[in-house]
Amino acid sequence: MASSVVAKGRVQSIANHLTPQNNTPDHEKYRIQRKPGQVPYLTPLDPVRFLLRSAMVYRKKTAVVHGDRSFDYETLADRTLRLANLLLHDFAVQPGDRVAILCQNVPAFLEAMYAIPSIAAVMVPLNTRLAQPEIDYVIKHSGASVLIVQDELFPRISPTVQRNLKIIRVADYQNNGDPPCPYEQLLQNTNTILGWKDLPLTTDENALISINYTSGSTGRPKGVMVSYRGCYMMAIGMCVQAHLSPETVYLWTLPMFHCNGWNFPWALVAAGATQVMLNKMDYTYIWKLIKELRVTHYCGAPTVQNEVCHHKDAVQLDYTLLAFSGGAPLAPKIIRGLNDLNIYLTQVYGLTETYGPCVLTYDRGSLSQYPEDQHLGLVARQGYNIITQDEVRVLDQKTANDVTADGQQVGEICLVGNVTMMGYYNDPEETKKCFRAGVFWTGDLAVRHADGVIEIVDRSKDVIVSGGENISSIEVENTIVGMEEVSECAIIAGPDDKWGERPFAFVVVREGRSTTADAILNHCRKNLAGYKCPAKVIFTESIPKTR
Amino acid sequence: MASSVVAKGRVQSIANHLTPQNNTPDHEKYRIQRKPGQVPYLTPLDPVRFLLRSAMVYRKKTAVVHGDRSFDYETLADRTLRLANLLLHDFAVQPGDRVAILCQNVPAFLEAMYAIPSIAAVMVPLNTRLAQPEIDYVIKHSGASVLIVQDELFPRISPTVQRNLKIIRVADYQNNGDPPCPYEQLLQNTNTILGWKDLPLTTDENALISINYTSGSTGRPKGVMVSYRGCYMMAIGMCVQAHLSPETVYLWTLPMFHCNGWNFPWALVAAGATQVMLNKMDYTYIWKLIKELRVTHYCGAPTVQNEVCHHKDAVQLDYTLLAFSGGAPLAPKIIRGLNDLNIYLTQVYGLTETYGPCVLTYDRGSLSQYPEDQHLGLVARQGYNIITQDEVRVLDQKTANDVTADGQQVGEICLVGNVTMMGYYNDPEETKKCFRAGVFWTGDLAVRHADGVIEIVDRSKDVIVSGGENISSIEVENTIVGMEEVSECAIIAGPDDKWGERPFAFVVVREGRSTTADAILNHCRKNLAGYKCPAKVIFTESIPKTR
């Protein structure tokens, strides 16, 4: 079992320098107090509960590996409790307050995903790839009062916004020789005055647990509101669909800020799995980890799958690794290539608005009903609803009727069910636009095949998907038109071998003025995340209007 | 993959003689209509939805095997829809009406478990081992108006009770040469006037889905009320804990009437598994099925485990079979014996009041944190809460405080959470008795060990557990005292090699009268299920009172 190897091979380095908790027996330590009058047969669906159960059941089993460090489930629960106390006492966080997180895949992020809801506050995970003005916008729009931020990302917060925030700084402390980390020191010095039973956990499973900002087709990022119940249902659905178990070793190739890490931070803890943190997409290191720790699961955009597949250190594994790919359709060539390495790939589809991947393709067990030579073609499509979401539908944009299941008629993908967002934060107008005829309209176009499975034919026309990230063409256009020298701009999705798509800018210079491609790119880099900046700037005399 | 072997090897005999449904595409056929005004992000947790999803995803995959017959997921959904239409139109079942089921593990039982809730009626599964007066009592107490009954069990219903019931008769039609079955003929002749989208599914996840009668310590069977949400949560919890997947082949050694088959009828369909029906505990046939169909999972009382372990046809399997044992503690010797056959055993604990097994011992993946020589001892205890139930507690019966986790202090097992019953049907007094201090009191005694796991030390003193069935000693006492010749009776749990325990009767004969052990046994057989009848009758002059 890979997990026990991990537990033995790594030093329990963090647990050792924490002050011991009092001697409450475990089963009392991890108990949540029930409210007076609460009926015995109803407990709010809340992913925080997964941690408390796993801390009791999986105790000394390795929960987290991060570089040379690793720690067990008891330690994860203890660290989370300390962070919750810290937020409550030192940062005066009240139920409903927004706490932003700007971190890579470090243990602090995982801990925050339990500590913040455990005090009924609201998480606001920030995309680490955003530029300063974008991050400032999201922090302001969400009304976050506290920020947990990793050192190298701190300069992304403008001084003005910094002044209005209480800040917890995290150093990426992954090796024993690394410089001291302020976050670790805070945890160490926090007294766990309140135990789990004293924390103000939510009593309403339909309350807001997180606001996840996403770039849609309309410019400014929108704050997707997700609930406790939704995250619980998505996490337990992922346990079933990804076959998670205590023998799972998960590698964090997916950014944790992406739809709350597709809810895996909760699903993995629920299943008693081991999670391996990862900050940097270094594929030599990734292959080293896969081989050394016998990684059983990872998720990522097509770019990630492509790099894993074609890396020089890639070898055929002597066990099956399950990989999940989302963000854009994946070429069957890569699915086959990964299969040859014993990496079985499942395509998924979803949006931040649907808690991440709520549509997935056939897994191996379900393919048994089809002849083997059809398998590759079948899994190259996006699939059907996961177990905790309602049926995925493809509707005609005008009539809101289902398209014919003929693989030909194109419609818009629509979703409904327990893992559908509650709406956009403080944005009733955008919320109203995307809910129509009782369903959520994704903006993505698809056909339905005769077997009921959907296949994406086009992402919504104003969204460019680059390495799994959404780019709003309108946002980039608006940025470029913000330059005095530019009178008009149009962004299109240009092809890119590595990232799938990248933005190409068509620019019309204002009469009597002049500018250069470099000047435009510099302006973009200052105002936009790097991945949103155009790969090419093409000057033109006019932009044809077709609509 | 075992399941595809099954699908190929067996005739799709039922689908062939059903009239074809209309040509609605699958994705529309299996859709549930949302209610006007229903918010898009909330769908009631309802296990019926598992079938509709699986009918679309697993289509031609084998869902059910029964003797020479087998059928796929599309057929299972079609048969269920026909039964729902039959109940609605021909039997005039209204939402909230009670429909009783008196069947062994035959496809009709499984289909009823989807059809009855799909029209918002309430299931009442009957224990096939009960005697006529007991069955009459349960039917009357539940107020059931319709009964689905297997031919050989029909004589268990008294003529008086029969007259008040609308009855659907089921023949155990498992081989092609078997005589025609009225149930099959009814299904064949039913027009599916209403599709799934027209059925009056529940809109309230906390509504009553089933009343499960159980013998407690107080005589008459009590009707345990369970909800849609509870059954959904238990089923999805079982998917995670039993590692169910489309590759699962489940053998029905557990009676389906037992806590709704521990919710496996829903869990297995959710996971896309194949279920193998079984009517008779013939261990030669069971071993034949295990080997031929490569069974991956089964559940059963210690008696079942014992027989499987020691059968002459038992062989070491070349794959791992997961077995679940509940009803009474199991000797470590048998756990080890099954292990040698490659049957990995998980002990579970639960009651009808907790939807079946809501406590289970460490599985293999969680044992990695302990030294290997401790594993057998660790899994011989009953365990910790399953993922969808709250923490299991052991409380002092007087103070309602948790016992010390020292493996010594005895307390009563208490439970709370989403898989805890809502109460006893039409019995506020008994309901009130078992809910105290905000938790459900099981009546079973246990200690808690230092690792948080509980171990049962005694079932509630007035309940005898024989082959996994509860026997109320008071009910047997009352039956015997009902004889004119008897003045007093006391039932105790006598040891039994095969069944674990059996009732022993101490009888005081009324002054001036006389009777025989045979007369007493005859009286019991007429009024009680066979398993409740005393194994021994001992005449005595008086019964000492200690309380």
Residues B475 and B418 grouped into a single domain: no
Query: What is the least distance, in Å, from the CA of A19 to any CA of chain B?
Result: 21
Asked if the Cβ–Cβ distance from A404 to B25 is below 8 Å, we say yes
What pLDDT score does B201 carry?
Answer: 93
Query: What is the least distance, in Å, from the CA of B479 to any CA of chain A?
Result: 34
Q: Residue A4 pLDDT > 80, yes or no?
A: no
Residues A96 and A222 grouped into a single domain: yes
Residues A171 and A25 grouped into a single domain: yes
Among A226, A222, A258, residue whose Cα is nearest residue A426? A222
| Amino acid letter, A174 | Q
Question: Which strand (E) or helix (H) includes residue B129?
Answer: none
Residue given tokens 């955009």 in the structure block: A301
Which phi and psi angles does B209 have, rounded to 5°? Answer: -105, -25
Q: What CA–CA distance (Å, rounded) separates A360 from A353?
A: 16
Beta bridge mates, A447:
A455
Q: pLDDT tens across B124-162, in order?
A: 999 998 999 999 999 999 999 999 999 999 999 999 999
Q: Label residue B129 exposed, middle or buried (CB < 10 Å: 0-12, 13-18, 19+).
A: middle
Q: What CA–CA distance (Å, rounded) separates B508 from B90?
A: 53
Q: What is the band of B16 on the pLDDT scale with cuts at 50, 70, 90?
A: very low
Asked if the Cβ–Cβ distance from A368 to B1 is below 8 Å, we say yes
Nearest Cα residue in chain B from A61: B369
More confident residue, A2 or A528: A528
Asked if the Cβ–Cβ distance from A387 to B53 is below 8 Å, we say yes
Q: What is the band of A545 on the pLDDT scale with cuts at 50, 70, 90?
A: low
Q: Residue B190 pLDDT > 80, yes or no?
A: yes
**Residue from B8, B38, B41 whose CB has the most chain A CBs within 10 Å, to mutate:** B41
A414 touches chain B (CB under 8 A): no
B151 touches chain A (CB under 8 A): no
More confident residue, A97 or A131: A97
For A220, other C-beta atoms within 10 Å of its C-beta total: 18
Count of domains forming chain B: 3
Three-state DSSP at A351 gives strand
Asked if the Cβ–Cβ distance from B56 to A384 is below 8 Å, we say yes
Segment A498-516 mean pLDDT: 89
- Answer yes or no: are the C-beta atoms of A484 and A477 closer than 8 Å: no
| Weakest mean pLDDT among A98-112, A203-217, A346-360 | A203-217
Structure tokens at A49: 């509960």
Q: Given B229, B262, B295, which residue is the final one in a domain?
A: B262
More confident residue, A181 or B36: A181
Q: Given B238, B262, B286, which residue is the final one in a domain?
A: B262
Query: What is the least distance, in Å, from the CA of A515 to any CA of chain B?
Result: 48
| A336-355 residues touching B, CB cutoff 8 A | none
Residue A86 lies in a domain: yes
A246 touches chain B (CB under 8 A): yes
Residue A398 lies in a domain: yes
What pLDDT score does B146 carry?
Answer: 98
Across chain A, what does the average pLDDT equal? 89
| B439-498 residues touching A, CB cutoff 8 A | 439-440, 448, 450-452
Q: What CA–CA distance (Å, rounded) separates B482 from B519?
A: 13
Q: What is the band of B4 on the pLDDT scale with cuts at 50, 70, 90?
A: very low
Q: Residue B235 pLDDT > 80, yes or no?
A: yes
Q: What CA–CA distance (Å, rounded) separates A102 from A148?
A: 6
Three-state DSSP at A40 gives coil
Q: What CA–CA distance (Å, rounded) separates B238 from A129?
A: 40
Segment B419-423 mean pLDDT: 98
Which domain, by its residues, includes B212? 2-30+44-262
Question: CA geometry: angle at A182 spanning A289 and A20, to 5°?
Answer: 85
Residue A292 lies in a domain: no
Residue B161 lies in a domain: yes
Segment B180-208 mean pLDDT: 92
Residues B443 and B505 grouped into a single domain: no
Provide the CATH number for the domain around residue B196: 3.40.50.12780
Among B53, B30, B58, B119, residue whose Cα is nearest residue B83? B119
Residue B38 lies in a domain: no
Provide the CATH number for the domain around residue A493: 3.30.300.30
A60 touches chain B (CB under 8 A): yes
Question: Which strand (E) or helix (H) includes residue A306?
Answer: helix A302-310
Segment A536-543 mean pLDDT: 87
Write out chain A residues lying below 8 Å of B405, CB-based: 25-27
| Weakest mean pLDDT among A73-77, B480-484, B513-517 | B480-484
Beta bridge mates, B208:
B227
Q: pLDDT tens across A468-478, in order?
A: 787 878 788 88
Q: Which residues contact B351 (CB under 8 A, 6 or more apart)?
A: B214, B259, B442, B444
Query: What is the least distance, in Å, from the CA of A73 to any CA of chain B?
Result: 11
Q: Residue B223 pLDDT > 90, yes or no?
A: yes
Q: What CA–CA distance (Å, rounded) separates A335 from A341?
A: 10
Residues B112 and B252 grouped into a single domain: yes
Q: Given A444, A460, A476, which residue is the final one in a domain?
A: A460
Among B69, B35, B33, B75, residue whose Cα is nearest residue B54? B75
Provide the CATH number for the domain around residue B394: 2.30.38.10
Segment A106-124 mean pLDDT: 98
Q: What CA–CA distance (Å, rounded) separates A503 from A465?
A: 9
Q: pLDDT tens across A411-468, in order?
A: 999 999 999 999 999 999 999 999 999 999 998 889 999 888 999 886 666 678 888 7
Write out chain B residues lying below 8 Å of A40, CB-based: 416-417, 420, 435, 438-440
Asked if the Cβ–Cβ distance from A438 to B26 is below 8 Å, we say no
Residues A503 and A421 grouped into a single domain: no
Nearest Cα residue in chain A from B419: A41
Instruction: Mark out the alpha helices in B242-331 (DSSP H runs).
Output: 259-262, 264-271, 283-293, 302-310
Segment A355-364 mean pLDDT: 92
Asked if the Cβ–Cβ distance from B27 to A239 is below 8 Å, we say no
Segment B204-230 mean pLDDT: 91
Query: What is the least distance, in Å, from the CA of A26 to any CA of chain B?
Result: 7
Predicted TM-score (pTM) of the model is 0.88
ipTM above 0.90, yes or no: no
More confident residue, B202 or A180: B202
Per DSSP, the residues of A140-193 read HHHT--EEEEEGGGGGGS-HHHHHT-EEEEE----STTSPP-HHHHHHHH----
Q: What is the band of B23 on the pLDDT scale with cuts at 50, 70, 90?
A: low
Residues A455 and A484 grouped into a single domain: no
Structure tokens at A197: 């039973």
Percent over 90 (pLDDT), chain B: 68
Write out chain A residues lying below 8 Å of B439, CB-based: 40
For A180, other C-beta atoms within 10 Å of its C-beta total: 9
Q: Which residues contact A66 (CB under 8 A, 6 or more apart)?
A: A106, A107, A174, A276, A277
- Answer yes or no: are the C-beta atoms of A243 and A322 closer than 8 Å: yes
Q: Residue A380 pLDDT > 60, yes or no?
A: yes
Segment B317-333 mean pLDDT: 90
How many residues make up chain B in this entry? 547
Residues B126 and B144 grouped into a single domain: yes
Residues A489 and A442 grouped into a single domain: no
Can you say how many angstroms the Cα of residue B218 is from the centroid of all Cα atoms in its chain? 21
Asked if the Cβ–Cβ distance from B61 to A366 is below 8 Å, we say yes
Residues B506 and B456 grouped into a single domain: no
Residue B284 lies in a domain: no
Q: Which residues contact B220 (CB under 8 A, 6 or more apart)?
A: B137, B475
Q: pLDDT tens across B456-513, in order?
A: 886 666 678 888 887 878 788 888 988 889 888 888 888 888 888 899 998 989 889 9
Q: What CA–CA distance (Å, rounded) separates A196 from A167?
A: 24
Among A42, A32, A46, A232, residue whose Cα is nearest residue B421? A42
Q: What CA–CA distance (Å, rounded) separates B274 from B10?
A: 13
Residue B282 lies in a domain: no
Across chain B, what does the average pLDDT equal? 89
More confident residue, B457 or B310: B310
Q: Residue B376 pLDDT > 50, yes or no?
A: yes
B359 touches chain A (CB under 8 A): no
What pLDDT score does B19 carry?
Answer: 34
Q: What CA–CA distance (Å, rounded) separates A9 from B30?
A: 51
Beta bridge mates, B500:
B466, B496
Residue A252 lies in a domain: yes
Q: pLDDT tens across B26-50, in order?
A: 667 888 888 888 899 999 999 999 9
Q: Residue A13 pLDDT > 60, yes or no?
A: no
B204 touches chain A (CB under 8 A): no
Among B96, B301, B338, B113, residue whose Cα is nearest residue B207? B96
What pLDDT score does A216 carry?
Answer: 63
Question: Which strand (E) or helix (H) includes residue B88?
Answer: helix B73-89
Percent over 70 (pLDDT), chain A: 93
Instruction: Count the helices and strands in chain B (H runs, E runs).
Output: 19, 26
Segment B336-351 mean pLDDT: 95
B122-125 vs B98-102, strand pairing mode = parallel
Residues B117 and B191 grouped into a single domain: yes
Q: What CA–CA distance (Å, rounded) separates A393 from B98?
A: 35
How many residues make up chain A in this entry? 547
B219 touches chain A (CB under 8 A): no
Residues A455 and A481 grouped into a single domain: no
B28 touches chain A (CB under 8 A): yes
Can you say how many angstroms the Cα of residue B232 is from the centroid of all Cα atoms in its chain? 15
Per DSSP, the residues of A393-435 read EEE-TTT-PBPPSSS---EEEEE-STTS--EETT-HHHHHHHE
Write out chain B residues lying below 8 Å of A26, CB-based: 405, 451-452
Three-state DSSP at B48 gives helix
Can you say how many angstroms the Cα of residue B189 is from the centroid of all Cα atoms in its chain? 30
Residue given tokens 């009676």 in the structure block: B255
What pLDDT score does A202 carry?
Answer: 94
Structure tokens at A230: 């939704």
Segment A97-119 mean pLDDT: 97
Nearest Cα residue in chain B from A368: B4
Asked if the Cβ–Cβ distance from B34 to A438 is below 8 Å, we say yes
Q: What CA–CA distance (Å, rounded) separates A455 from B450?
A: 52
Nearest Cα residue in chain A from B234: A236
